[in-house]
Amino acid sequence: MARTLLYLVRHGEQDPAADHDPDGGLSPLGREQADRLGKRLSTVPFDVVHHSPSARAAETAEIVGGHLPLVPRHGCDLVVDRTPVPSPERLGVYPQRWHAWFDGVPADERDEDAVALRAAVDGLGVTGERDRHELLITHNFVIGWFVRHVLDAPEWRWLGLNQANCGITVVQWDSERPPALVSFNDVGHL
């Protein structure tokens, strides 16, 4: 029975001067969070580290990678900062109170009907012939989508799942069982 454990981590705190600029790096606190995260995860037998190409995620991965020197890491388009927004015909699936909020989602983060996030789950949430441990350094809504998926929650339920910077969420795929949430937003190392 093979299983896949995905460790989903939100990047460290972004430098406030960057004001959500995807090219903005980490604050001093964000670098400290990433270092503590790396120490916490240093004994996990990771196969690979996937990280969002954003500067804050790449910098987090670089710091964490210092504690995982033999684990390959790479920028991964599957874990890019995305916001799953409903298409006009699917808007009714979401609670009315969120409809106006979707209008403010930046164009470069919009993932209509979660097409890209569904592909991320399909591509990463699989089992093979052997156990896998993979670290994904990504963004809040991406993690929320994975959690929503493994809990088989309504499509809109990613909303309101807030992941702390460098908090650890673990989801598991098992060849003989449905996917499961192992832990959510563990911040004991911070």
Q: What is the pLDDT of residues 1-40, one digit of tens each?
A: 799 999 999 999 998 876 666 678 899 999 999 999 999 9
pLDDT at site 19? 66
pLDDT at site 16? 80
CATH number 3.40.50.1240 given to 3-128+140-186: yes
Residues 64 and 137: beta-carbon distance below 8 Å: yes
Going from N- to C-terminal start, the domains of the chain cover 3-128+140-186
**% residues pLDDT > 70 (the chain):** 97
CB atoms within 10 A of CB 45: 10
The size of the chain, in residues, is 190
CA 109, CA 173: separation in Å to the nearest integer?
27
CA 29, CA 156: separation in Å to the nearest integer?
31
Residues with pLDDT less than 70, the chain: 18-22
The owner of tokens 């209008």 is 103
Three state DSSP letters for the chain = CCEEEEEEEECCCECHHHCCCCCCCECHHHHHHHHHHHHHHCCCCCCEEEECCCHHHHHHHHHHHCCCCCCCEEECHHHCCCEEECCHHHHHHCCHHHHHHHCCCCHHHEEECCHHHHHHHHHHCCCCCCCEEEEEEECHHHHHHHHHHHCCCCHHHHCCCCCCECCEEEEEEECCEEEEEEEEEECCCC
